[in-house]
Amino acid sequence: MFDFLGEYWKKITSAILSMLLLFVTSFVGDVPKAKDPIIATRTDYSFDTDRILIGGYNYNINYTDDEHVGYVRDAGIDFLVTRANEDFLDACERFGIGVIAKNYSGLPTYGWTNIDRTENCPWLTFSPEDFNDHPAVWGNDLMDEPAADSFPYLAEMMKSYYGKTDGKLAYINLYPAYANEEQLGTTADWFAFSKEYQRINSYQKHVNAYIEAIDSDYISVDIYPLRMKIDKTSGKPYKYTEMTWLKNLDILATACRNTNRDLWVITQATGEYFDGSHGVSRIPNEDEIRWQVYAALSFGAKAIIHACYQQGWWYEGSHMINSAGERTPTYYYVQAVNQEIRALSDVYMDYDNLGAFVHNPMREEFTRMAISKPNFNAISDIQSEETLLVGCFEEKEGDGVAFTMVNMTEIGREQTATASFKLDGASSVTVYAAGVPSTLTPDADGNYSLTLSPGEGVFVTVEY
């Protein structure tokens, strides 16, 4: 009896705290504001940016034969972020694969602590004549997950790089919002009353510092939201989703819109082998990879990078290509999702993202952290028992609008979502499901309906 009451009050307390968190983050979730953000200089790159770019993180360059490099192309991947040498770059050129190169052409990829903040830094001292260019090289990897105090130095390195190269990209990837204050190099404000909001407040400061210091026309982040752990009561494993996932995307997407940058997202295509001993970033299936992609697209992502293609920090057998050079089930999951992205790319790129909102945010623990709801009146009277993510878009040339709709029910429950809604004044409505267009028509009451399988997202265009 007392155990039951204890669990009951725990649930009630959790619900009250979640509602309070939603209320507070609705008002202060985006403070502090960036003081003097840099409006990004747009670079004319040597590669095509008029499409959704699809990348892969890490490649074992011992496999430079046509069969294995051909696997990259066949997976629907446009570019790799990886170590490189001449033989590998030659093979990539044959297959039309770009490379953002690590430790190539005398330009080292800096780690977390060994950044060279002196005038002898190779990124500052190299000359245009020193730069060993290659048709397959899209750019060079400058640093992964820097702390905020590194940003001014990285800005100088980037300025040097762009002044001495033509059409190449200097690549920096940021921490996700679940990084701690020491990693981020920023401290939460005193009024950050909860653990989750402290992380968000500190992270907002981190992103502000980036856009105040660094003139890049993109912001890249790796977010790995898919987790697994053991239930203490039942002793059974269960899937759950990292709390800050959507707020993380929202903060970065807002920064991108405000400073004319593109959002690049590294998704969790692989994970750890779960032995039941601790919480891990689990190995995703196809639905879970698709789920992350459509969530990122809902916030306007222009590049999706799958981690890891081959080699990396997770269970080796879960990578797209294993240590023996063989394709794994993950390879075919990613290949299927990439086919959808490619099919959707042309129409998606005709629209600008305005932000996203969550319908029924309180039903799922990981959607309760408030995101910045955009001014988007095209959809009205949404009816759904499930949680939905709706990404909002306006046509670049024309009066049309578009939106994503993503099933945000905790994917571990494998639950279908249904929704009905009105689109007042619409003359033509097209839904792209798995990248394939079909006409969406209303019922006699003017309601449009969608059914979304677990992890599924669609893109809907509306003409007037």
Q: Does domain 354-463 have CATH number 2.60.40?
A: yes
pLDDT along the chain (464 residues), means of 10: 50 50 50 92 97 98 97 98 97 98 94 77 95 97 96 96 97 97 94 87 97 98 95 89 97 98 98 76 96 98 98 93 97 98 98 98 96 94 97 97 98 97 96 98 97 98 98
The pLDDT value recorded for residue 276 is 66
- H/E segment holding residue 303: strand 301-307
φ, ψ for residue 316, nearest 5 deg: -60, -35
| Total length of the chain | 464
Q: Could you state, in order of their start, the residue ranges of all structural domains in the chain?
A: 1-29, 53-349, 354-463
- Asked if 249 and 188 touch (Cβ cutoff 8 Å), the reply is no
Is the bond preceding 37 in cis, omega lying within 30 degrees of 0? no
Mean predicted lDDT score pLDDT of the chain? 92
The pLDDT value recorded for residue 32 is 85
* DSSP per-residue string spanning 85-150: -HHHHHHHHHHT-EEEEESBTTBPPB-SS----STT-HHHH--TTT----TTEEEEEEEES--GGG
The pLDDT value recorded for residue 112 is 65
Please check whether the two domains, 53-349 and 354-463, share a CATH topology. no
Q: Which CATH architecture has domain 53-349?
A: Alpha-Beta Barrel (3.20)
The pLDDT value recorded for residue 1 is 53
φ, ψ for residue 254, nearest 5 deg: -65, -45
CA separation for the pair 92, 210 (Å, rounded): 32
CA separation for the pair 208, 345 (Å, rounded): 30
> Using CB atoms within 10 A of its CB, is residue 284 exposed (0-12), middle (13-18) or buried (19+)?
buried
Contacts of 103 (CB under 8 A, 6+ apart): 83, 109, 141
Give the count of alpha carbons within 13 A of 152, CB side only.
Answer: 4
The pLDDT value recorded for residue 116 is 77
β-strands 448-452, 436-439: how paired? unpaired
The pLDDT value recorded for residue 354 is 98
The pTM of this model reads: 0.93
